[in-house]
Structure 1
Amino acid sequence: MFRRADFLAANRGLRVARPGFILLARPNGLDPPVMRYGITVTKRIGNAVVRNRMKRRFRELLWSILPDAGLAGHDHVLIGREGGIERDFQQLATELHAALQRVHAGKGDPPRKPRTGRRR
């Protein structure tokens, strides 16, 4: 079961952005090596119905792809983006495969720039 601390730790790992989601991956240090996943979708994406639909799609995507293409002993976190709900499921699967290949190669996107100013 993922807890808030696990999500925060994954945020310090590799980050790969795609149009429908952001993939975070980080070694979890569990013994025996266990592959875990987490999903998060913020309120900016839409109402509860939209967010839950996106989470169901992501869960199915991870269940179908992660056992074969995921990294053993790592935590994988999918963060939903606005375009993720409208994207074709097969397109999301292709993007997840590409993101996992980048993570396998150890190539993440550059770190995010810190936010400046005040949020409203």
Structure 2
Amino acid sequence: MTSPEETLETAEVSPTAVLSGVSACIVVMKTRANFVAASKARYQTAASLTVQMRDRRDGDNAVRVGFTCSKKVGNAVARNRAKRRLREIARLDLPTLAKAGHDYVLIGKKDVTENRDFEALRADFAKALGKLV
């Protein structure tokens, strides 16, 4: 039987453990005021989504992200599916691509965000974010 100290020394770090530690600094925006402020900032459209980016300039280094889909995207099921896909993209890509102290809003597009291939959706997000940064 090994001691707990030996287990900690020999344990390998899984990629998900590293991601969960990094994504802990990402905060989800929920108030309307934050979304309105982000809507007045810079934005970039892609084939399947729109990304808005705002520098908060408040000294807080946390990255905040919000997700929205209008009723034009579809019924509640379609909007929620599109937002789930946007949340997964943010979880995977924002820890490495985002700037500290910025707000990001990901906006789904009608008939595209829900049905587009996931890797193409990720590529659209990276391209739009690259143009903003």
TM, length-normalised to structure 2:
0.75
Matched, 1:20 2:48: yes
The within-5 A match list for 1:47-62 is: 47-62=75-90
Per-residue CA deviations over 1:7-33 (Å, capped at 9, x if unaligned) read 010011111001111100001233331
Q: What is the aligned residue count?
A: 104
SS of residue paired to 1:44: helix
Where do 4+ consecutive residues of structure 1 move more than 6 Å?
Answer: none
Could you list the runs of 5+ residues in structure 2 that have no partner in the other structure? 1-28
The alpha-carbon deviation at position 99 of structure 1 amounts to 0.9
Tell me the amino acid that sits aligned with residue 56 of structure 1. R
Which residue of the partner structure matches residue 11 of structure 2?
none
The structure that is helix-richer by fraction is 2
Gaps of 5+ in 1: 105-120
Q: CA RMSD in A?
A: 1.0
Taking structure 1 as the reference length, the TM-score comes to 0.82
